A and B are shown apart, each in its own frame.
Chain A
Amino acid sequence: MKSEAVSYVTNLKCRECGQEYPISPLHVCEMCFGPLEVGYDYPRIKAAISRATIEKRAHNLWRYRELLPVTGESDIGPHSGFTPLVRCDRLAAELGVKKLYLKDDTVNHPTLSYKDRVVSVAITKAREFGFKTVSCASTGNLATSVAAHAARAGLNCVIFMPEGVEAGKIVGSTVYGAQVITIRGNYDDVNRLCSEIADKYGWAFVNINLRPYYTEGAKTYGFEVAEQLGWKLPENIVLPTAGGTILPKVAKAFKELKEVGLIRDGECKVHSAQAAGSAPVIHALHKGTDLITPVKPDTIAKSIAIGNPADGFYVLKAVRESGGWGEGATDPEIIDAIKLLARTEGIFAEPAGGTTLAVTMKLIAQKRIRPDESIVVSITGNGYKTLEAVAATIAQPHVIEARLKDFDALFERLNGTSRPLAGAA
């Protein structure tokens, strides 16, 4: 903790039955098993912050520290958050819309995904609570982020993965000094075991017993969008849905900005995007029910392949309250969207980003999003980590000898085709 060792947090409160608990590493209501959420003293926050104070602060997620469940300013994740909001006119023209933005967490520091936000908050809290070992179940972005932040915080780190994940995924954690344990089972099996281990060994599992704090970090994605639009809400935001963390928290962020007087008015439709092969929330949304039936995920969008989303119910609630909608995107649609984004805007997203863009296109086609409305598409992870998702479908290179006449011949051969080397006329 550096300056301003102040906290505006009041307690933990059950989202289902309202039971209150003191701030502690507790994530489940003892009465009804409902998820616990952090409560804040909003009138005090309102008195303490202004646009001007925030704008003077460093460009990281802690610029919104009063609205995060930490005491003072953390030194974890000093460069996490405050990623670019990119205005995308070339992509907008392709989509036939006017005001299109990408919130680009492909360049979040230090591990190139939105997870650096939630993990910064979780690791800060782990240290505040005095945990020595931090952990998570993950095969990708979350594992990498936890391992990196734990290294910098000097905490012991253990990562659980399902057996059979690619070698690269293991390197992504072990390089930071984390120990990796692979489990004979699928991702949901790993999660279940981790929940039991958290219970028995008293380790800080960032997305289990630190979940109320971890999820609060996702609000910073929403705070930044509003600040970067000049303290305004977009008319639409499209967010990916996996476990159900980010979407309800961005909706909450928009409400809090009004509550503490940082923005005055404006409404944003919040839309959910899932891969069609792992879309239990979209199924429930389309059926008009609150009941989410789990599925066995089957999609290239591994980072959002969660078949049994614990917070799916809150995604439905936030989408419906905001007047938003949601769709699923098939694997080919996801791949096409990744490539469209890369070739129009020079941004390479992981399949989760292809999913949000593909779903945005569907919502525009369905007129759920009008062409003159502002749209923010959420890009939560970097395509360089998931090359295998697109590798099989990209154009192969032309191979020639190191001789100018061979190049001349190639140039001539491609002239008149759909992709001449000198570019289309």
Chain B
Amino acid sequence: MPVKVRVPTPLRRFTGGNDEVSANGDSIKAVIADLEKNHPGIGERLLDEKGDLRRFVNVYLNGDDIRFLSQLDSKVKDGDDISIVPAIAGGR
């Protein structure tokens, strides 16, 4: 089940400079595992030692922050859009 993943600048050295890659998996966790398989090194940038999403990484599934869904267990289906975005500070 291929999905599109948007990759931010700091991670593009793992994806050969590509800002978008495709990956497989039925959950965010599985997609990240698949990314790691094809782009070694990317996984530890996203997940900490305990396997949780790092504090300053936001992952959006079809535009929704996965913290509002089922976190890393959020279900992913064919054609979904995933976006990895560093956390943003600053006011309104």
Contact A310 B89 (CB under 8 A): yes
Q: Which of B57, B58, B60 has the most CB of A within 10 A?
A: B58
Q: Across the interface, which residues of A come within 8 angstroms of B58, CB to CB?
A: 192, 308
Residue A111 interfacial (CB < 8 Å):
no
Assess whether A72 is interfacial by the CB under 8 Å rule: no
Task: Among A195, A211, A242, point to the contact of B8 (Cβ < 8 A).
Answer: A195
Stretch at the interface among A89-97, A199-207, A340-348, A417-425: A199-207
How many angstroms between the C-alpha atoms of A172 and B54 in the bound complex?
37
Q: Distance in Å from the Cβ of B84 to the closest Cβ of chain A?
A: 9
A382 within 8 A of B: no
A305 touches B67 (CB 8 A): no
Partner of A310, one of B56, B63, B68: B56
CA distance A330 to B90 in the complex (A): 23
Q: Which of B6, B10, B55 contacts A28 (CB 8 A)?
A: B10
The answer to whether A294 and B68 touch (CB under 8 A), given A27-B86, A195-B85, A245-B91, is yes
Q: How large is the interface on A (under 10, 10 to 19, 20 to 34, 35 or more residues)?
A: 35 or more
Please report the C-alpha to C-alpha distance between residue A189 and residue B57 in the assembled complex, in whole angstroms: 15
Q: Does B15 contact A (CB under 8 A)?
A: no
Answer yes or no: B92 CB below 8 A from chain A CBs.
yes
B-chain residues with CB within 8 Å of residue A208 when the two chains form the complex: 88, 90
Interface: B36 (CB within 8 A) = no
Please state if A33 and B91 are interface contacts (CB–CB under 8 Å).
Answer: no
Interface residues of B in 34-82 (CB under 8 A from A): 45, 54-58, 60, 63, 65, 67-68
> Knowing A29-B10, A32-B45, A294-B65 touch, does A191 contact B88 (C-beta < 8 A)?
yes
Any B CB within 8 A of the CB of A16? yes
Interface string of A288-328 (1 = CB under 8 A from B): 00000110100000111110111101000000000000000
- Min CB gap B23→A, angstroms: 18
Contacts of B68 in A (CB 8 A): 294, 296
- C-alpha gap A223/B50 in the complex (Å): 40
Contact across chains for B89 and A305 when beta carbons are under 8 A apart: no
Query: Whole-angstrom distance between the alpha carbons of A420 and B84 in the complex?
Result: 62
- Quote the shortest CB–CB distance from B46 to chain A (angstroms): 8
The chain A residue sitting closest to B56, CB to CB, is: A33
Beyond known contacts A207-B90, A310-B88, A313-B55: 8 more, CB 8 A cutoff: A28-B10, A141-B92, A192-B58, A192-B85, A195-B8, A195-B86, A304-B91, A310-B56
24 contacts between A and B (CB under 8 A): A16-B55, A28-B10, A28-B56, A29-B10, A31-B45, A33-B45, A139-B92, A142-B90, A185-B63, A188-B65, A191-B88, A192-B83, A207-B90, A207-B91, A211-B89, A211-B90, A243-B88, A243-B90, A245-B90, A245-B91, A294-B65, A303-B91, A310-B89, A311-B89
Q: Which 3 pairs from chain A and chain B are nearest by CB?
A: A207-B90, A310-B87, A310-B89
